[in-house]
Amino acid sequence: MTTLLWLRQDLRLHDQPALAAAAHQGPVIPVYILDDDAPGDWRIGGAQRWWLHHSLTSLGKALEQEGSRLILRRGDAVAILTGLMERTGADAIHAIRHYEPWWRKAEDALGERLCLHDGNHLAPPEQVRTGSGGQFRIYSAFWKGLQEHLPPERPLPVPDAIPAPEQWPDSDALAGWQLLPTTPDWSGRFDWTPGEDEARHKIAALDLEGYDDRRNMPAEEGTSRLSPHLHFGEVSPRAVWHASDPHDVTFRKELAWRDFTDGVVLALPDYADRNGRAAYDKLPWRSDAEASRDLRAWRRGRTGYPIVDAGMRQLWHSGWMHNRVRMITASFLVKHLLLDWREGERWFWDCLIDADYGNNAVNWQWVAGTGVDANMFGRIMAPLSQSEKFDAADYIREWVPELAHLPDDAIHDPDAAGCRPHDYPAKLIGHREARERALAANRKVR
């Protein structure tokens, strides 16, 4: 019995339950469909397209080594899969379950033709429920509830064989999709190796010594850098879990956060578009010409706050940003510039190689104070003191070369030190002034 294997953000052969089930039944036709019909602003972003090109190249080679191949198509996923079933005589479609609202809609449309499998979570979000049967909306409670489902099952091996059909359907040429960027000053420092082999190498070499502290230091390689591999499903969360040590609780909580965010968007599918707390619909975001100017300065890393500018330039040039700096730059946009968190969320979506619908939305609303599980809006990060506290001097030197010659005691705040170079911008707004403006706006909500 021939089956289709519908691949999305699960681009791997190891621990691939949908592949294992399909291979057990007979000939398998692996299919990846570039479906750009996601609603609103959720078409796959520019940085992710770079990663996708290389990840699909890697997966195609891996399948060829197993005597199979990867079929590429572009367009409406439901229509293409339905057509492929008719032309190939396939009896079923196997796929790993996804939680983005557009994928859930497509899964519903395929109905009984689709055999769904769980494989991109430590535990399926439908299983980790509150006492009343709903999805957890507070992470601490979710983590406690998740314990009943841990440890996750051991990862599956690659099937002994991936049977090939007698005849293969036509495939698009990957180069024809033009996924690679053409902007001259972008992606020049995308220092990444996409693909399952690299993901497995990283988890085999996982070193989490001192992770609790080092993960907050922007100038250090203190994070796992597994996030894009996890987003594209080049490695499964349970494979990462079993590669870590039981004492690595902080790291495992970070891994579980991804499960939590999918549970949030399962309960609130439009969470990336709407405030989790309706009261914040009344917040008076800035939207005039000066606000537009400030947004452009933030995107380009020209705010006058070195730690913010370093983060935004790292994002643009490398497709990634250190997690501590993600929080600082997000807080700056929302609290210092009083700009709608959705502006930042969309920019991250386009520029991050690991941009994830649930993770991105929940993280932005956590920082903004507008979410169901969020910081208080009145908690405003002080970027200058954060920069000094987490020893970001060398990080700033790497990404803001105008400041590279400054000593550690001046580089965090050149204005205060009286040594701001002429080619580095003055602050868009002072910290105290920004704080007072943000708190005044918040009072209107309350």
Which one of 186, 198, 323, 402 is the catalytic residue? 323
Residue with tokens 């510039």: 337
Active site residue 316: no
Task: Please choose, from the candidates 16, 271, 264, the residue with its C-alpha nearest in 3D space to the C-alpha of residue 128.
Answer: 264
Please tell me the distance from the alpha carbon of residue 319 to that of residue 189, in angstroms, as a whole number: 8
CA 64 vs CA 16, 68, 71, 330, 342: distances in Å: 17, 5, 11, 43, 42
**DSSP codes joined into one string, 143-194:** HHHHGGG-SPPPPPPPPS--PPPSSPPP---GGGG--S---TTSSTT-----
Active site residue 42: no
Task: Please choose, from the candidates 408, 123, 125, 442, the residue with its C-alpha nearest in 3D space to the C-alpha of residue 261.
Answer: 125
Which one of 198, 285, 398, 402 is the catalytic residue? 285
Which one of 257, 375, 398, 402 is the catalytic residue? 257
Active site residue 257: yes
Which one of 42, 51, 143, 341 is the catalytic residue? 341
Please tell me the distance from the alpha carbon of residue 384 to that of residue 72, in angstroms, as a whole number: 48
Is the dihedral angle over the CA atoms 104, 37, 20, 196 positive or is it negative?
A: negative
Which one of 349, 364, 366, 399 is the catalytic residue? 364
Assigned token pair, 322? 């250190």
Please tell me the distance from the alpha carbon of residue 256 to that of residue 261, in angstroms, as a whole number: 9
Active site residue 366: no
Active site residue 323: yes
Q: Which residues pair with 96 in a beta bridge?
A: 117
Which one of 220, 254, 398, 402 is the catalytic residue? 254
Active site residues: 254, 257, 285, 323, 341, 364
